[in-house]
Amino acid sequence: MLVVLLPLLDTRPDFSSDGLLSSLLLIQSPWHSICWNYASWSISAEWHCYLLFPIFVINCRTRSNKVLLVTLAVWAGVVSLTGLILGSENISNGIAVLLRCLPEFISGIVLCFLLKRGCLPKWISHDSAICLSATMLFIFEWIHVPDGLMVCLFSLPG
């Protein structure tokens, strides 16, 4: 997409050479205003999480199940409160984007450890959980549960 948009280089502030460099390095989401391929903010935010992944895994591996459950609850609260405090769950740039992505990412890691340790019901990893998740997703969307909270909860069947 960046190649397709290259003719727009320096024609507008969101197509600056600085923005191009930050897009190429996948650091645009938290460190630069939205630019170039606007939808790539999520790839940038995920890239930051993947860079921190080894630290999160090492940290979770040494924690008790109780600490992991508390961690899960805290991060679900953070992602829900971020949307409420900022007035929108649709955060796509600025450092606050990490408050949208990191809790969801860490929740997935925590849930994986809990599942592998046998702390979650075995049915969670079966196909029936997918059907239950789809039903819950429909209901949660209907009653407007915050998106970030749903991401944290729906990583359970994975």
Q: How far apart are CA 37 and CA 15, in angstroms?
A: 9
Q: What is the pLDDT of residue 107?
A: 82
Query: In this predicted model, what pLDDT tens digit does every residue of 90-135 receive, in sequence order?
Result: 666 677 777 778 888 888 888 888 778 777 666 555 666 667 777 7
pLDDT at 158 (0 to 100) = 46
pLDDT band at 157 (very low <50, low <70, confident <90, very high): very low
Give the pLDDT confidence of 42-65 residue by residue, as tens digits: 888 888 888 888 888 888 888 888
Question: Which token pair is 102?
Answer: 């990191």
Q: Which long-range contacts (CB under 8 A, 24 or more apart) does 60-66 make?
A: 60/109, 60/110, 60/113, 61/113, 65/114, 65/117, 65/119
Parse the chain into domains and list their residue ranges: 49-154
Q: What is the mean pLDDT of the chain?
A: 76
